[in-house]
C-alpha cells in the first residue's frame, strides 16, 4: 500500500499553520491494522500537518518510554511496531469508540443495574491500588467513597483483560444493584448528575463541536488532505471520549449534544473513508 504522503492532491488542512492534531494522534493513525508504521510516512504526514520532525521524534521517544511501541531501524528507513502493551491500549481505545457509537444507535441498552467496584489494597502494594484506581477512572467509573467506584456499565471484561488475575482475586469486590441511593437524589438520573455532571461532560465536546462545524465546503482530495482532515476529527473525538463516561440515554438530559456531535463526526468520517479507504487511519475501523 502506498503511504498517505504519496501522490497528494488538494489543499491540506493544517498545513502551514498551527496544527490541531497532536503528534501522538499522528503516530497512532499511521499504524496499520497489523501494528506497523513506516517512519517516512509518519514524518511526511506530520510535516503536511505542520508538525516538525523533531516534535514527532519527541513524541515517539515518550511512547517508547511508556512501552507502547518499538522502533526498528534508523531514520526514515525504519519502522514502528506496537508492543503487547500498545496493542492492549489500542484495543481498549477501539472498543471505547465502538461502544459509544453502538450505544448511540441503540444497539446497546442499559439493564438498569449499577455496578459497584471496591478494593482495599495494603500500602506495600500501592502500585496495584493505584493501577486499579486509574483503570476504573479511565473506564468512566466515579468514586462514591474512598476505594468504592460506581458505574452503570459492566466493566468485568475490561478489568480481566487489563489487570492481573491475582490482583482481582485478592482485592476487588463487585456488587450489582438496581437501587443506588444518594442524599438529595430521587431518581437514577439524579444520581448520574451528582456523579457525572452533565455540563462537565458536555464541555469536553467543545473542541469536537468546533471541528465538525468547520467542515470544509469542498471535500478534501488526495491521501494527505483526507488523512489530515480525518486526524483533526479523530483527535477531537478522542479528547472528548476521554472525559465521557458514556452514560446510557436513560441517565442523560433530553437532546444530549454529545450524541448529536458524534453523529456529525460519523457522517464526515464515513465520507472521508470512502474517499481513501486504504489509509491506515481507517484500518482500525474495519
| Residue 120 located in a structural domain | yes
Q: How confident is the model at residue 53 (pLDDT cuts 50, 70, 90)?
A: very high
pLDDT tens column, 98-114: 999 999 999 999 999 99
**Are 205 and 242 found together in one domain?**
yes
Q: How confident is the model at residue 115 (pLDDT cuts 50, 70, 90)?
A: very high
- What share of residues in the chain are helix, strand, coil (percent, to 5)? 55, 10, 35
**Are 205 and 170 found together in one domain?**
no
For residue 48, the model assigns a pLDDT of 84
| Residue 159 located in a structural domain | yes
* In the chain, % of residues over pLDDT 70: 92
Place of cell 480525518: 230
Check: CB of residue 175 under 8 Å from CB of residue 115: yes
| DSSP classification of residue 13 | T
| Res. 95: pLDDT tops 90 | no
**Which among 175, 192, 187, 190 has a CA at the least distance from the CA of 115?**
175
For residue 220, the model assigns a pLDDT of 86
| Residue 7 located in a structural domain | no
**Are 207 and 275 found together in one domain?**
yes
| Res. 4: pLDDT tops 60 | no
Name which residue leads in pLDDT, 163 or 190: 190
For residue 175, the model assigns a pLDDT of 96
For residue 163, the model assigns a pLDDT of 87
Query: Grid coordinates standing for 99?
Result: 461502544
Domain end marker among 128, 145, 177: 177
pLDDT tens column, 8-21: 333 344 443 445 78
Least confident of 115-119, 166-170, 206-210: 166-170
Name which residue leads in pLDDT, 32 or 257: 257
CATH code for position 38: 1.10.10.10
The domain tally of the chain equals: 2
**Are 260 and 214 found together in one domain?**
yes
pLDDT average, residue stretch 204-217: 93
For residue 19, the model assigns a pLDDT of 52
Domain end marker among 177, 212, 233: 177
For residue 284, the model assigns a pLDDT of 59
**Are 80 and 206 found together in one domain?**
yes
**Residues contacting 58, CB < 8 A, separation 6+:** 23
For residue 281, the model assigns a pLDDT of 83
pLDDT average, residue stretch 260-270: 96
User: Can you tell me the distance from the alpha carbon of 91 to that of 176, in angstroms, rounded to the nearest whole number?
Assistant: 26
For residue 5, the model assigns a pLDDT of 35
| Residue 251 located in a structural domain | yes
| Residue 262 located in a structural domain | yes
**Are 210 and 261 found together in one domain?**
yes
* Neighbouring C-alpha atoms within 13 Å toward the C-beta of 116: 14
| Residue 136 located in a structural domain | yes
**Are 217 and 278 found together in one domain?**
yes
**Are 150 and 277 found together in one domain?**
no
For residue 219, the model assigns a pLDDT of 84
**Residues contacting 104, CB < 8 A, separation 6+:** 259, 262, 263
pLDDT tens column, 175-207: 999 999 999 999 999 999 999 999 999 999 999
Rg (CA), the chain: 21
**Beta strands of the chain (E only): which ranges?**
36-38, 69-72, 79-82, 114-119, 142-145, 148-151, 172-177
The most confident of the ranges 13-17, 28-32, 113-117, 233-237 is 113-117
Using alpha carbons, list the distances in angstroms from residue 144 to 18, 116, 137.
41, 9, 12
**Are 173 and 215 found together in one domain?**
no
pLDDT average, residue stretch 25-52: 89
Domain, as residue range, for 156:
113-177
**Are 81 and 206 found together in one domain?**
yes
pTM over 0.75: yes
| Res. 68: pLDDT tops 70 | yes
Name which residue leads in pLDDT, 151 or 232: 151
Mean confidence (pLDDT) of the chain? 88
Using alpha carbons, list the distances in angstroms from residue 271 to 56, 132, 173, 230, 238.
28, 39, 45, 10, 19
CATH code for position 139: 3.30.70
**Are 265 and 205 found together in one domain?**
yes
| Residue 17 located in a structural domain | no
| Residue 146 located in a structural domain | yes
| DSSP classification of residue 205 | T
**Are 157 and 120 found together in one domain?**
yes
For residue 285, the model assigns a pLDDT of 55
For residue 1, the model assigns a pLDDT of 29
Using alpha carbons, list the distances in angstroms from residue 174 to 28, 127, 149, 156, 227.
34, 20, 10, 9, 43
Amino acid at each position: 500500500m502506498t503511504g498517505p504522503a504519496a501522490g497528494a492532491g488538494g489543499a491540506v488542512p493544517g498545513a502551514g499553520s498551527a496544527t490541531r492534531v497532536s503528534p501522538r494522534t499522528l503516530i497512532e493513525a499511521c499504524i496499520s491494522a497489523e501494528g506497523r508504521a513506516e517512519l517516512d510516512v509518519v514524518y511526511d504526514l506530520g510535516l503536511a500537518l505542520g508538525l516538525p520532525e523533531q516534535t514527532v521524534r519527541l513524541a515517539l521517544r515518550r511512547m517508547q518510554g511508556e512501552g507502547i511501541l518499538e522502533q526498528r531501524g534508523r531514520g526514515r528507513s525504519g519502522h514502528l511496531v506496537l508492543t503487547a502493551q500498545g496493542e492492549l491500549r489500542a484495543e481498549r481505545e477501539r472498543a471505547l469508540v465502538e461502544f459509544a457509537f453502538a450505544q448511540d444507535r441503540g444497539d446497546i441498552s442499559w439493564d438498569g443495574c449499577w455496578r459497584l467496584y471496591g478494593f482495599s489494597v495494603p500500602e506495600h502494594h500501592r502500585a496495584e491500588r493505584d493501577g486499579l484506581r486509574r483503570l476504573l477512572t479511565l473506564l468512566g467509573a466515579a468514586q462514591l467513597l474512598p476505594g468504592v467506584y460506581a458505574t452503570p456499565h459492566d466493566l468485568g471484561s475490561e478489568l480481566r483483560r487489563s489487570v492481573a488475575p491475582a490482583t482481582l482475586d485478592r482485592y476487588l469486590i463487585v456488587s450489582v444493584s438496581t437501587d443506588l441511593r444518594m442524599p438529595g437524589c430521587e431518581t437514577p438520573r439524579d444520581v448520574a448528575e451528582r456523579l457525572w455532571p452533565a455540563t462537565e461532560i458536555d464541555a469536553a465536546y467543545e473542541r469536537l463541536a468546533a471541528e465538525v462545524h468547520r467542515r470544509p465546503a469542498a471535500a478534501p482530495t488526495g491521501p494527505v488532505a483526507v488523512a489530515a482532515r480525518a486526524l483533526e476529527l479523530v483527535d477531537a473525538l478522542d479528547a472528548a471520549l476521554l472525559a465521557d463516561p458514556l452514560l446510557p440515554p436513560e441517565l442523560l438530559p433530553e437532546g444530549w449534544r454529545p450524541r448529536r456531535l458524534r453523529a456529525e463526526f460519523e457522517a464526515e468520517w464515513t465520507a472521508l473513508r470512502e474517499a481513501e479507504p486504504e489509509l491506515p487511519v481507517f484500518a482500525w475501523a474495519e
